[in-house]
């Protein structure tokens, strides 16, 4: 089962807790493209994201490199050809006569087969190929987890901004009405101009907040499309349920931390295994190298180039080659010691990683709990602010409360509503960080 299936299971896990729950769906976007859920955004990013594409290409390159390194166990077959024109032949006086050796033209064609029988480089490549392959797969998995985290946060950021825009739109309508009412009262001589001037200030502030949020959406969409590898010339539409988001923000905080569930820990374990094998590899430096070889040569000689290939003089040989290293000036001893020190270094890194993972978990857990408490508190405050505003609005309409009190209540309500969505985003982000710290994302 691929890692991408695991991450989708993680994303979908929240819905399993409420199998009979039905959530209303909202859509953001211009409607020119099908609306995407979070699961679909993640799946699209896993298939098209630039970082994922690079990681998959690296994995494929790694597979080819492994096969290349293991190819040394197969027979190495080669052929070569040569041709020579001897301008000056060797001569030597023998028995009072000047004898000429060789012929003016010679040529040769050689067919060679070599087969490694004992070779420490090939032994090392064979034993480490599994762990090298694991490294590439773990790198892909690590990027898949990062993609899930980044896309989820970017997705929630956009949706919660749209929820804030809804609040600002409602506030804008309400504030426009209050401004019109205040202006009418002033023109009727019931109140002085300060009421409608205050209403105008508040109305301008709401419009400014709305404009700022609208502009930020475009930047946030661009970031999400970058993460997903989504076409820049297409608008991205998102489908979501705020009620479902609230449900998914809750999680069990009593889970035990298991470092081995973290991909970083699995990566360091692979490095440790490779370091151990490298130490063994350096100790194999005392092993001899043994190979078998076979060759067949076609030799041609003639004083006339046109007759050079009329007659061949073949030779053939089969043999073994044994190479035994005896003394290398202490190089092997130093290489072994270097490998042992590197192995110790990886062990120290693993120990430090365990502490780092624990720190990340404690930080994520603390942040999640505080954000959960803050979200619940702000949600309660928002409900209270709504109740206070409703009462003051009613009293203002009846002439009991001053307009300035209505403005204060309106501002407090809008602030509480916006803070509520900011708190929700912080809670969702910290929940994702806690899941990542626990190793839940991608853990099968």
Instruction: Indicate whether 443 belongs to any domain.
Output: no
Quote the pLDDT of residue 345. Answer: 95
If one counts the domains in the chain, the total is: 1
| Six token digits for residue 162 | 């749209």
pTM: 0.80
Instruction: Indicate whether 87 belongs to any domain.
Output: no
Quote the pLDDT of residue 362. Answer: 95
Quote the pLDDT of residue 27. Answer: 63
Please give the Cα distance from 324 to 374 (Å, whole number): 72
247 contacts 20 by C-beta, under 8 angstroms: no
| Six token digits for residue 357 | 């993972």
Which residues, other chains included, contact 242 with Cβ-Cβ below 8 Å and sequence gap of 6+? 26, 159, 163
Please give the Cα distance from 267 to 275 (Å, whole number): 12
Quote the pLDDT of residue 21. Answer: 40
Q: What is the DSSP string of 232-271?
A: TTS---EEE-HHHHHHHT---TTPPP-GGGSHHHHHHHHH
Q: What residues make up the domain containing 128?
A: 3-75+119-290+329-438
251 contacts 436 by C-beta, under 8 angstroms: no
Please give the Cα distance from 435 to 441 (Å, whole number): 6
Quote the pLDDT of residue 142. Answer: 93
Which residues, other chains included, contact 426 with Cβ-Cβ below 8 Å and sequence gap of 6+? 371, 374, 375
Instruction: Indicate whether 102 belongs to any domain.
Output: no
Instruction: Indicate whether 82 belongs to any domain.
Output: no
419 contacts 127 by C-beta, under 8 angstroms: no
Quote the pLDDT of residue 26. Answer: 64
Quote the pLDDT of residue 9. Answer: 45
Instruction: Indicate whether 298 belongs to any domain.
Output: no
As averages over each run of 10 residues, the pLDDT of the chain (444 residues) reads 47 39 54 80 92 91 92 93 89 80 89 92 90 93 93 91 86 82 75 76 86 89 93 86 82 90 94 93 88 94 88 93 86 90 95 95 95 93 92 85 83 88 92 93 65
83 contacts 72 by C-beta, under 8 angstroms: no
The dihedral over CA atoms of 350, 356, 358, 360, expressed in degrees to the nearest 10, equals -140
CATH number reported for the structural domain that contains residue 62 in this entry: 1.20.1600.10
Instruction: Indicate whether 147 belongs to any domain.
Output: yes
Instruction: Indicate whether 88 belongs to any domain.
Output: no
Quote the pLDDT of residue 354. Answer: 94
Instruction: Indicate whether 392 belongs to any domain.
Output: yes
């Amino acid at each position: 089962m691929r890692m991408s299936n695991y991450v989708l299971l993680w994303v979908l896990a929240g819905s399993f807790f409420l199998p009979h729950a039905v959530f209303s769906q909202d859509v953001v976007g211009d409607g020119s493209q099908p609306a995407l859920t979070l699961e679909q955004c993640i799946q699209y990013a896993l298939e098209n994201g630039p970082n994922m594409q690079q990681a998959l290409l690296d994995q494929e390159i790694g597979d080819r490199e492994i096969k290349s390194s293991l190819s040394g166990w197969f027979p190495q077959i080669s052929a070569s050809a040569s041709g020579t024109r001897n301008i000056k032949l060797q001569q030597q006086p023998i028995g009072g006569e000047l004898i000429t050796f060789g012929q003016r033209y010679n040529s040769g064609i050689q067919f060679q087969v070599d087969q490694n029988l004992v070779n420490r480089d090939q032994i090392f490549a064979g034993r480490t190929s599994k762990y090298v392959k694991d490294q590439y797969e773990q790198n892909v998995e690590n990027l898949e987890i990062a993609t899930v985290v980044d896309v989820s946060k970017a997705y929630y950021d956009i949706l919660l901004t749209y929820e804030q825009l809804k609040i600002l739109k409602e506030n804008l309508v309400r504030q426009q009405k209050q401004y019109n009412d205040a202006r009418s009262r002033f023109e009727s001589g019931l109140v002085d101009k300060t009421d409608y001037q205050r209403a105008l200030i508040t109305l301008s502030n709401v419009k400014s907040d709305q404009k700022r949020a609208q502009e930020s959406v475009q930047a946030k969409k661009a970031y999400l499309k970058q993460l997903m590898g989504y076409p820049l010339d297409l608008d991205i539409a998102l489908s979501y349920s705020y009620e479902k988001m609230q449900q998914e923000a809750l999680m069990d905080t009593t889970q035990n931390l298991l470092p081995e569930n973290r991909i970083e820990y699995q990566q360091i374990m692979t490095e440790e295994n490779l370091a151990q094998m490298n130490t063994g590899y350096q100790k194999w430096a005392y092993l001899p190298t043994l190979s078998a070889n076979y060759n067949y040569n076609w030799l041609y000689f003639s004083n006339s180039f046109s007759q050079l290939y009329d007659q061949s003089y073949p030779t053939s040989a089969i043999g073994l080659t044994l190479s035994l290293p005896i003394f290398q000036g202490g190089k092997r001893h130093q290489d072994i010691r270097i490998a042992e020190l590197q192995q110790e270094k990886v062990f120290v890194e693993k120990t430090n990683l365990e502490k780092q993972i624990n720190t990340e978990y404690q930080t994520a857990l603390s942040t999640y709990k505080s954000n959960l408490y803050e979200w619940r508190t702000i949600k309660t405050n928002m409900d209270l602010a709504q109740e206070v505003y409703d009462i003051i609005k009613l009293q203002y309409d009846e002439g009991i409360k001053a307009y300035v009190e209505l403005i204060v209540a309106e501002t407090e309500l809008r602030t509480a509503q916006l803070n509520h969505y900011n708190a929700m985003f912080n809670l969702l982000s910290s929940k994702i960080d806690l899941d990542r710290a626990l190793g839940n994302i991608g853990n099968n």
